[in-house]
Amino acid sequence: MADMQDRKLKPWAEVALSQLLALTFMAACLWWVQRQLELVLPNNRITAALSIENAIGTTLGLQLTGFGGALLLCHVLLGLAAYSLARLTQAAFPGNAQARPAWLIAGWFALLAGMTLAANTTWHPASIFSAEESWWRRELLGVQPVRLLAGGVAISILLLVLPILRRPYRPGRRLVIASLSGAVLAAAFALPKAMFAASANAGAVTAPHVVIIGIDSLRNDLTVPRRGNATTPHIDDFLTEATRFSDATSPLARTYPSWMAILTGRHPVTTNARYNLMPRADVREGETLADALRARGYRAVYATDKVRFANFDESFGFDELITPTVGAVDFLLGYAGDNPLVNLVASTRAGGWLFPSNYANRGAYVTYRPRQFVERLENELRINGPSFLAIHLTLAHWPYVWAGMKIPGAPPDYRIAYGVAVNEVDRQFHAVMQLLEERGVLDNAIVVLLSDHGEALGADTDSMLRNTGNSREIWDSLWGHGTSVLSLHQYGVMLAIRAYGRAAIPGKPGSYEWPVTLEDVRPTLEQYVTGKMPAAVDGISLLPLLANPGDAKSLATRVRFTETDFNTPSTLAGRYEASGLIDEAAVYYELEPKSGWVQIRSNRLPELIARKQRAALSSQSLLAAIPDPAGGPPKYLYTARHNPLPRTLDGPPDATRDPEARRLWDALHARFPGELPAGSDLPRM
């Protein structure tokens, strides 16, 4: 007996052993993450903006320190759980187990760590810790193995507790009671935040609420190429009583420039929001819709589940942001945050506190669950008085997957995944509308449903160059968004307005083929609320035309514009692997230390501007300016929009023989002054 007692560990040593195991497990996971990141973020090519050394003392450094502290805490708690279960086992079998506490602690820790890895593999197959094909994702008797394992562990713990509870009271039972109480509290803390959210209803509001719901990458025709119509029953239901504009376009088919046009009513040339991740100091947004409505007593809220390429903050007129953490931390932790414990905790109530960069973040798609963002809205959205709500849902954006799914690997898979994502974002849209109804918003509201841009998915109609372009030109226009002005489905957008409750808009619901643009959203909504058009905007208010549709004939001569964003060779080739994109694009980006945001280097902007494609389009025709890769004059292509057969223009068209082409030529050069050779610099046709 004395010999057995000598082999017992002191309590502090038992705790130390549990923490040593926890730290070893954490170190092993971090080593594996680092090994994978060498493929994703090559140290010899990554921009200094994202290097840990240069992040020390900056906002990014503080954010990464917070993540590291939360990660350490989770592993410490895992070690303490193993220690507590070992003590529980000792208390249940004092005669046999007390002599070997080290083995008990190691055994319980191995079981808990194994369950963590199994759960991560089961629920997050896109994680770098998950195998392509795993037994854990199969079902046994209709139940996932990890649930059977968890159930077995729970029963084992119950069997350990019962004999202790039947014994006369002893001080050791306090440990059991404390452990059980702690487990209950931890489980409660891990429940979805929305279960504890206090609702706040709108009450009687005289001024109408203004709601913009954006769905990222939603094609304006609501189809999945080569697979038929998308399954969108809730969007379809919204559209039945809405005023829909079937020929709506984005001035630049990327999220940040599009939303800047929505919020300001101004073209990207006017605001200088020419790219995603523009330097904040270079953007000239002026007054925004949020600013104008706040001056009328509105409270402005911007909410989205993905911020990776769109840096928005309160400076754009918002009172509140409901978003993941904006900046470089989102890029880094979207990859480095892929850790089994982080993945499991990030989707819980605790995850919102411990891992704000991973919680309800579509950018961290390995752990993102669509309901999670809706629950965050339920918990954080407050409606007190008239509100302006800008809500952006991003499920339909590449890579079209979320927790429990794998990234599609080939074009046919892209289409399938896109269709599934559109179906899911339709359900998410419905959940958001239900929330707005429950909060009383829809008792008096005007709701705009739009997409910031569309998505080309290799369909026959996704490129105007099918019959005239070379293989490289055709491919560049067939996929993604913001890559080609000769792909109508990239910059064609959904745009519809519907009134709810006491609110009303002029005209009758239905589809209008007017040539409109996202720049028209702000003037329309601002005139609806204030009774007058905002000054110095590029868009127009659609309210007068809805009231008097006959006046819409004035739009017959309207010219709209669109342009491309910065595209790496991988993007143009339809390859979206993070390793290729970051490797190619890193030299163009930098870290802004104070904010922690990633932004384009200002000195690179002239080079990037020179690479842009630009287009002017009327209801029937389009003129595109395509830059010469060798630095020569751009190539001009003119075509009918709906029956495209582009022909090359060698110079300014003759206004007498081809007035429509000349009108678009003049408009294109006026919209992009100094960026294209003047008409007099080229030979006349």
CB within 8 A of 255, min separation 6: which ones? 216, 276, 309, 310, 392, 397, 452, 453
DSSP character for 534?
P
Q: What is the DSSP string of 228-267?
A: EE---HHHHHHHHTSEEEEEEE-SBSSHHHHHHHHHH---
Phi and psi for 626 in degrees, rounded to 5? -110, 120
Closest CA to 453 of 565, 364, 540, 368: 565
Q: What is the DSSP string of 145-166?
A: HHHHHHHHHHHHHHHHHHHHHH
Alpha-carbon distances of 528 from 60, 225, 445, 501, rounded to whole Å: 41, 37, 11, 15
**Segment (H or E) for 289:** helix 289-294
Q: Are 563 and 240 in contact (CB under 8 A)?
A: no
DSSP character for 569?
H
Altogether, the residues listed in the chain come to a count of 685
As given in the structure block, the two tokens for residue 486 are: 């000769």
pTM of the model: 0.86
Closest CA to 219 of 414, 476, 397, 485: 397
Quick one: how far is CA 384 from the chain centroid? 27
As given in the structure block, the two tokens for residue 361 are: 């973040």
* HEC letters along 353-402: HHCCCCCCCCCCCCCCCHHHHHHHHHHHCCCCCCEEEEEEECCCCCCCCC
Quickly count: other Cβ atoms within 10 Å of residue 13's Cβ: 12
3-state helix, strand, coil in the chain (%, to 5): 50, 15, 40
Quickly count: other Cβ atoms within 10 Å of residue 444's Cβ: 19
d(CA 666, CA 664): 5
Q: What is the pLDDT of residue 171?
A: 54
d(CA 562, CA 476): 16
d(CA 465, CA 210): 40
d(CA 414, CA 621): 30
Q: What is the pLDDT of residue 526?
A: 97
Closest CA to 87 of 109, 71, 55: 109
As given in the structure block, the two tokens for residue 392 are: 């952006």
Q: What is the DSSP string of 10-70?
A: PHHHHHHHHHHHHHHHHHHHHHHHHHHHHHHS-TTTS-GGG-HHHHTTSHHHHHHHHHHHH
The single residue listed with the structure tokens 């004939």 is: 553
The single residue listed with the structure tokens 């599934």 is: 420
Quick one: how far is CA 285 from the chain centroid? 22
The single residue listed with the structure tokens 């070379």 is: 470
Q: What is the pLDDT of residue 62?
A: 85
Q: What is the pLDDT of residue 519?
A: 98
Cα dihedral 147/128/73/367 (nearest 10): -60
Which class for 57: exposed (0-12), middle (13-18), buried (19 or more C-beta within 10 A)? exposed
Phi and psi for 571 in degrees, rounded to 5? -60, -45
Quickly count: other Cβ atoms within 10 Å of residue 545's Cβ: 22
Cα distance between the two ends of the chain: 106
Mean pLDDT of successive 10-residue stretches along the chain, which has 685 residues: 50 86 90 65 40 61 87 92 85 64 87 88 80 69 76 78 64 51 47 41 73 97 90 97 97 97 98 94 96 97 93 95 89 79 84 87 89 94 95 95 87 92 98 97 97 93 79 76 93 98 94 97 97 95 96 94 83 49 67 86 91 95 92 92 91 94 96 80 46
